[in-house]
Structure 1
């Protein structure tokens, strides 16, 4: 992979991570509850409205899963993210207990970590795998050029 393509890919991934981080913050941590000094987001507040609030929260949370699909995450990554959203939705449907769980579970922050970990692994593997084939190619090219030079030298000068 060329440096321009690699840096463009890195920029896009960083932009995606920034979007994901901001969305997860809004959905899970945007507001501080003064009495208990805990942070909740739109997902937790919306979950207070029976069923409809949980449905809205699941819809907003699915945006993170869609971002994972857009980035080309493998099935295991987006399936885990979908499971986090599903658990958040199903348990959130239970009155009172579900609302407390919804505010504590923070499915969006979990999904952000899952996606971030995958992107870091992909980037690390690309750096490892893309380095050696290029070095090997240059080395083989130089060796080939040396052999051709020696053969031509001997053919031309008979030495």
Structure 2
């Protein structure tokens, strides 16, 4: 088991969750691929999008329904300052995860987190479990609570 997956499971357990990660040989690099492998819809795949403040290097997590995209202007309004896409190296440095495996849980540096309200319309959703090949299922309200995410409008349809 990878260090990243172990960290996600340990964080979940510390928060009172018992996750059962599903290994996807096809990987989780896109919401469509993860949805097909998990037998669900793209909207039920939670994308963990990391943006950064160019003035402070703060990295912010935007949990987004898989059928939506983060709108950079809306995200900046939500965050209260300018944002830009974070590069792979800074994402790994701050979160401990590689792109495609960024989980809502288990970050090296816990980020400020925002949640796409569309996620709450599903009975369950799937999110990356720390690797590009593992996802876990969770009830959206529990995801919001355990990540401390704030509901915000920062998306546009894909």
TM-score by length of 2: 0.25
**Which has the greater radius of gyration?**
1
Q: Which has the higher helix share?
A: 1
